[in-house]
Amino acid sequence: MAGRALVLGGGGLSGIGWISGILHGLAEAGADLWDADTVIGTSAGSVVGAQLTSGRLTPAELYERQLAAPVGEIAGHLSAAATLRHARAALSSRTPEDFGRKVGQIALAADTPDEATRRAVIAGRLVSHRWPERPFLVTAVRATTGEFRVLDRGSGVGLVDAVAASCAVPGVWPPVTFEDDRWIDGGVRSPANAHLAEGHDRIVIIAPIAAGGGTLESARAQAERLTAGGARVTLITPNRTTRRAMGHNSLDPTHRAPSARAGREQAPAHAAGVAEAWG
């Protein structure tokens, strides 16, 4: 499968803001990624990917949306106890499915906002609730088994539910119900899931979370594997200034706008590399 793939990784509301800023800044610098043949979105990246592929927003308009007051958002926070449970699950898991099942148990047992309230938040983020015509892939994990799932227009799952599942951080947000089961954050499989771009010959990966660990393969490792397979790949991760702007809690709505501004400022440094990879 030749063509250009844009991979957008997870990273909470800070990640949504930063990815949007990067995309706008790249477009300003003459490296517009809006014409990707395939867009792959995980968690925060699924929100941005849905906006990008809707055809209803320019990069500048998507960026401006991140600067607006976060009306309708709910602040989230991964508690110290939940963080410890995640760490224990990572240390005791031998496969991605094993880890997904263990954090799925955490998600199913957690005290969270109700599913309908959370779904309304996701619906409010999207300018369109219909799947786009061009390929757009959204990742999720089955909470009960750890199975990794790729959702798209042909999956039979609505776009809002797909994005809500991909954003369902275990222990913070409720798992999403469809197909008689519960589904959680696609970042449980990998922060970026860039492996799904295999087969494309030009790939740009924008990953708010650069690191991996345990069964979570990092975006950098996935980029290296894609490059070894013959693709032209550019990986963009947050610089030091961006990391400060994103704050310690990526689920805090007040961090979205500073992250977007940081992304826009960071983007020109990557424009030449993106233009070369995008060709």
Per annotation, catalytic residue among 43, 46, 155, 190: 43
The identity of residue 151, as a single letter, is L
Q: Look up 79 and say whether it is catalytic.
A: no
Closest CA to 44 of 214, 237, 251: 251
**Cβ atoms within 10 Å, residue 15:** 32
And the tokens for 155? Answer: 């999956």
Half-sphere exposure of 123 (CA within 13 A, CB side): 9
Identify whether 43 is a catalytic site residue: yes
Question: How far is it, in rounded angstroms, from Cα 181 to Cα 179?
Answer: 6
Pairing of strands 38-41, 136-142: parallel
Q: Which of 54, 166, 185, 252 is catalytic?
A: 185
| Euclidean distance between CA atoms 236 and 213, whole angstroms | 19
Active site positions, annotated: 43, 185
